[in-house]
Chains A and B, each alone.
Chain A
Amino acid sequence: MDETSKIIKTVSSVMFPFVTIYGLYVILHGHLTPGGGFQGGAIVASGCALLVVAFGSDAIAKRVKESQLSLLESIGALGFISLAFVGIATTFFYNSLAGTKFLFGRIPPYGSNPGYLSSGGLLPLMNLAVGTKVIAGLFAIVLILAIATRKKGGRSK
C-alpha cells in the first residue's frame, strides 16, 4: 500500500477527535435528540475508518487487535441483554429505572421541551451499551477488511 501524503495524515489526525466527540454526543444524547447508539456508533466507527485509510491498516493493527474489538463488542451485547433483564420483575425490557429518584429517573414535562440529560431510565445506558457494541463491531469489520484486502496480503508475523 502506498503511503498517504502528510496532508491527509495531518487532517485526519485533527479531524478524528472531533468526529469521535460528535459520535459520543449522539450516543449520550440518544434519549433527547435524534440519533442513538447505532447512529453514534457508526459515526465513531467512521472516524476510526478515516484513521485506517489515512495511516494504513498496518499502523492501526499494531495498536488495536481485532480480538480486543471482538471482546468489546461482546461486552456491549451482554450489557444490553443484562440491562434488558433489569426489569424482568415486570417484563423483559421493562424500563424500571424511569420515574424513580435514582440516576436517569427524571420525567420531563409533556410536550416540546429540551428535556433533561438525567432522564430516560434505562434508555441512556442501553444507548451506551449498543454504542459500544456498534463502535467495536464496525471498527472490527473495517479493520479486518483493510488488513485482508491489501496488496501484500497477510500481516507480517
Chain B
Amino acid sequence: MRSRDAVALIALVLLGSFMIMSVLPLANMIRPFGEPVNPEMDDYIITHAQNETGANNAVTSVVFDYRGFDTLGEATVLFTAVAGVILVLRRYAHG
C-alpha cells in the first residue's frame, strides 16, 4: 500500500504541475471582465432584448427566447434525472 501511495502522490504532483504550467501562459491573455472578444451578439441582445421580447430581464429573454433550445435540453436533463431516480428507487419506496 505504501508504494501505491507514493505512485499516487507522484502522479498527483505531475498532473498538478502540468495543469499549472498550462494555465500560466494564459494569464497574460485573460481579458478584463466585461470586455469579451466578440461583443456583437451581446450588444445586439442588450439593445434589442427589451423591444423584441418585452421582458426587462435580458437573461430570461436569452434563456427562454433566443436560446430556447438550450432550455429545452436543460429541462430534458431534469426529466431524465427524475425518471432515473424513480426507476431505480421505486422498488424501495413501494416495499
Contacts and interface: CB of A to CB of B under 8 A. Distances in A.
Interface in B63-81: 63-65, 68-69, 71-72, 74-76, 78-79, 81
B77 to A, nearest CB: 10
Contact of A120 (B47, B54, B86, B89): B54
A16 interface: no
Interface residues on A, range: 35 or more
Interface residues of B, number: 34
Main secondary structure of the interface of B (DSSP, over half): helix
Contacts of A98: 52-55
B51 interface: yes
Interface in A95-114: 95, 98-99, 104-110, 113-114
B4 interface: no
B57 A30 contact: yes
A102 to B, nearest CB: 11
A141 B60 contact: no
21 contacts: A30-B57, A36-B63, A36-B64, A70-B86, A77-B79, A104-B54, A107-B50, A110-B50, A120-B53, A120-B54, A120-B61, A123-B53, A123-B64, A127-B60, A127-B64, A130-B71, A133-B78, A148-B89, A148-B93, A154-B93, A157-B95
